[in-house]
Structures are given as C-alpha cells and as structure tokens.
Amino acid sequence: MIPVQGLAGTRVAVLGLGRSGLVAARALAAGGAVPLCWDDNPAAREKAEGEGFACVDLKRAGFEGIARLIVSPGIPHLYPDPNPVVAAALEAGVPVDNDIGLFFQSFATRDWDGFDISPRVVAVTGSNGKSTTSALIHHILEQVGRPCQLAGNIGRGVLDLDPAIDGEVVVLELSSYQTDLARSLTPDVAVFTNLSPDHLDRHHGLGGYFAAKRRLFAEGGPDRAVIGVDEAEGRFLAGQLTEGPTDDRVIRISVAQKLTGPGWQVFARKGFLSEYRKGKQVGSIDLRGVAGLPGAHNHQNACAAYAACRTLGLAPKVIEAAFHSFGGLPHRSQTIAEKDGVRFVNDSKATNVDSAAKALAAFSNIRWICGGLEKEGGLGGLAGATGGVRKAYVIGREAAGFAMQLDVEAEVCGDMATAVARAVAEAEAGDVVLLAPAAASFDQYDSFERRGDDFAAQVAKQLG
C-alpha cells in the first residue's frame, strides 16, 4: 500500500467505496488522515464499516472541517451534471481529487534518497489500446528482470501498489475519468495511443474528452511523451509539447504513415515496426509472426510499448524477444478456440465503433457477432470497415435497429447463445468467428468481461 502523504491529521471525505474508493480510504488512514466514507450502496458501506471506517451521509453532513473530497472514477464531477456531494464540496471550497492524484503526491518517499536508480512511472492513456499497451510494457519489463508493477484502470488500484524499490517501474493505465480529476499528474513517461469519440456525455463532447486526456501531459510535464499522431488531436498534442523538429523528448508513433524528420519516431507499416532517430533507422521488428499482437491496431500498441521501453533504456532485440512471449489480454483480440479450420476470437473490449473497426481490419472471412447498447454517434464509423465480413449476427435488446444500420448481411439473433450457434452452423474452414460488439454491454451484461466470458462459454458448448 502507498500511504497518503500530506494529509495527516485531517479529515478527508471519500465518495464511492468500490475498488479504488475503499483502497483510498485505507491509504489515507495509513498516512494518518481520518477518512469519512460514503456510498449509496448499503453493502459497500457495510464492508467499509467492517474495516472500521466511519460512514457519513455526505449529502447531509456538509463539508465543514473537511480537507479534501476523494471521488471514485464512475461518479460525475462536472458533466452531464455533478454529483450532489461533489457540487456541495465545490460550493464549500473543498478541493476535489481522486486516487490518482493521491498516488502522485505520495509515491516518492525519503527512502528514494538511498536508491541507485530512482523509480519511474509510465502512464498510458488514449481511447483504444491503452490496456494492451500497458500490459505489454509491463510484460517486457518482467521479461528483462526489471522490477515493475501494473495498476490503474487495469489490475490493482494505484494506492494498493507496494512502495517502490530501487530501480522499479510502475506502469499505469489511466482512463479519461481518472486523468480529468487528478490534482497531481507527474509521470516520467506519458503515452497517448489514439483518440476516437467515447464517453462524450461525461466530458460534454469530443473537445472535453480530449482535454481530459491532454491533462496527463500538460499538468505534469513528463520527461518523455510517446504520442500517436494518426489523428489530428495527437498531432496537435505532439506539436504543443515539442520545442522543434529535433526535440527527442516527444516520440511520435504511427501505423498510418512512414514518419520522417530529425526527431524520434516509431512506426509500423505492412507488419514491420521501424524506429528512426535523427533521420536514421536504429531498430526494426517483424511483427507479422507475433501471435499476441494481431492486426494494425495491435501494431500501434506495439509501437507505443516499444517507444516507452526504449525511453527506459531497453534494447530493440530485448523488446522483440518479449513481444513473442506476450499472450495478449483477455477479451482483446483473444483467440479462444480453433476447430476444423475455424478460429474463434473474443474482442469483447471493442465497445465502440472505432475499436470494432480495428478488430475487423485484423481478420478476413469474418462471421461477426456484434450489437449491444449503442453509443452516441451511431455506427457511421463502421463504413468501409466491413469488407472482410461474410455475415453479421446481431445481439442486444435493440438488435433489429442495430442490424438495419449495417452494410453487410445481418441476422437478428438477440442473445449470445443464438448468435454463436448460428455462426458455428454456417462457418467454413478459413472463417473467423469474431466477437467485436461495437457497443457497450450494459443492456444484457454488467461488464464487457461478462459478455466475453459468455461468448467463450457458448463457443465451448457448441464445439463440445
């Protein structure tokens, strides 16, 4: 655990007692603060009280004598409307923060004075690929024997990490919900994978969404910034951070173009990753045989992870070897079965149109299982992305309406069991049965993980 520094002897309110909130309360107490907790869920309050924390209805108690309010990521603080507790704190002039802010203000300690190599933080954000990129960086570090931990929006809560040891690297995946509110954001290396429309209601549009991501770079001034430049926002961000074409503190990455110039670039084209510095190629990796990173979208993840690891001093050949032992993440282009020449791939994490389009681009002869809770913006972004689809099998409560928007043959199946059964019945050798929903899961499942697990279970049932 990372004890919170700077709040000893103060009362700190904690709103939301899920994974991050309860850990924040523990870390605050470990640092000498007095947490006052609240969650509208009685079961969550009961669990906190079982650990000895006081639970107080913050809507009624007010904020007199409160030093700070710590808010869990799922609770809105501005758009579409601030939570009443957050609004009350702001009205009272009480600073609002989250566990990410507490982590960055508390991670460094006096113990570091005795280290030979100071610990470092690599923080990854973006619309798509941040989980795979974070896990891949962590995997590479593990393979070379570098002490490391993985946390944030993946794995453990940030304050649940162990205190750093000499030379350790902490890899954090950070969502826009987390970067938007954190009062302290000071990573050593910050990574921006890409940007596509998502969470627009929470951020009041694409501009607010990008602004939340941008805070990771603008607030803390990382030593190195790895920036995906295949969208206008990434190019703008790279331009804001750089002092000029030769400034190698900014590493531009791409899977859409060859990057040239005197700076530092990493790009992938036709399955080959290339690193250029000062106009000369200094590294190259053939990604075509890396089973855990299929498709252009995963090649972008590989470029981002490669660049981040190069800033940490790792050699290209070492990184390449680690790529080949990376198994991928569950629910992200994950091959779960193969039988009679048919491959079954679980990409339940493709919860928006852009990520689904990237999943579709990675395969051909696709039996596509899609549908769910449609996100703002519709399905127009799939135009031109379905050339490899033989047929779509649509699930979700609004499956008929979803199917009508597709430009391929589509069968309304409604539920996962029916969709998998129909896809298996019609699949031929060389086909890929791909779950890439292009929609949220919450109309039928409580998470994309549950949706992916159901897909895997139905595939296992059909294959016997």
The predicted structure's pLDDT at residue 30: 98
Work out the pLDDT band at 65, boundaries 50, 70, 90.
Answer: very high
Fold that domain 11-97 belongs to in CATH: Rossmann fold (3.40.50)
pLDDT at 233: 97
47 in a known ligand binding site: no
Cβ 39 vs Cβ 45: under 8 Å: yes
- Cα(319)–Cα(192) distance, rounded to whole angstroms? 20
**pLDDT over 80 (residue 419):** yes
Above 80 in pLDDT, residue 338? yes
The pTM assigned to this predicted structure is: 0.86
The residue-averaged pLDDT of 282-289 equals: 95
Separation between Cα atoms, residue 462 and residue 337, nearest integer Å: 11
For the chain, the first-to-last Cα distance in angstroms comes to 45
- Residue 217 CA to its chain's centroid (Å): 16
Residue 130 assigned ligand-binding role: yes
What pLDDT, in 10s, does the model give residues 299-333? Answer: 999 999 999 999 999 999 999 999 999 988 889 88
More confident residue, 458 or 374: 458
* Residue 33 in tokens: 């603060």
- Beta-carbon count within 10 A of 369 CB: 28
pLDDT value at 202 more than 80: yes
Q: Give ranges for CATH 3.40.50.720 in the chain.
A: 11-97
Is 83 within any annotated ligand binding site? no
Give the pLDDT score at 19.
85
Domain 334-463, second-level architecture: Alpha-Beta Complex (3.90)
| Rounded (10°) CA dihedral 353, 356, 362, 367 | -120
For 310-319, give one letter per residue: b (16+ CB within 10 A) or e.
bbbebebeeb
Q: Where in the chain is the domain with CATH 3.40.1190.10?
A: 107-324
Residue 327: per-residue pLDDT: 85
Instruction: For residues 194-205, give the mean pLDDT.
Output: 89
Please state, in angstroms and as integers, the Cα–Cα distance from residue 417 to each residue in 46, 264, 423, 450, following that order: 37, 48, 10, 14
* pLDDT confidence of residue 200: 85
User: What is the spatial distance between Cα 275 and Cα 281, in angstroms, rounded to a whole number?
Assistant: 6
Q: Is 145 annotated as a binding residue?
A: no
Q: pLDDT tens for residues 223-240?
A: 999 999 999 999 999 999
CA 285 vs. chain centroid, Å, equals 25
pLDDT-derived band at 47 (thresholds 50, 70, 90) equals: very high
- Per-residue pLDDT tens for 130-189? 999 999 999 999 999 999 999 998 878 999 999 999 999 999 999 999 999 999 999 999
Could you tell me how many residues make up the chain? Answer: 464
Note every long-range contact of 420-428, with CB atoms under 8 Å and residues 24 or more positions apart, other chains counting: 420/369, 420/393, 420/455, 420/458, 420/459, 420/461, 420/462, 421/458, 421/462, 422/393, 423/367, 423/369, 423/391, 423/393, 424/342, 424/459, 424/462, 424/463, 426/367, 426/391, 427/342, 427/367, 428/341, 428/342
Q: Is 461 annotated as a binding residue?
A: no
Arithmetic mean of pLDDT, 344-355: 92
Whether 377 has a pLDDT exceeding 80, the answer reads no
Annotated binding residue at 114?
no
pLDDT at 396: 96
For the segment 253-265, the average pLDDT, to the nearest whole number, is 95
365 annotated binding-site participant: no
DSSP state of 373: B
pLDDT given at position 300: 96
pLDDT tens readout for residues 75-105: 999 999 999 999 999 999 999 999 999 999 9
Q: What is the mean pLDDT of the chain?
A: 95
Rounded to an integer, the average pLDDT of 6-13 is: 98
CATH architecture of 107-324: 3-Layer(aba) Sandwich (3.40)
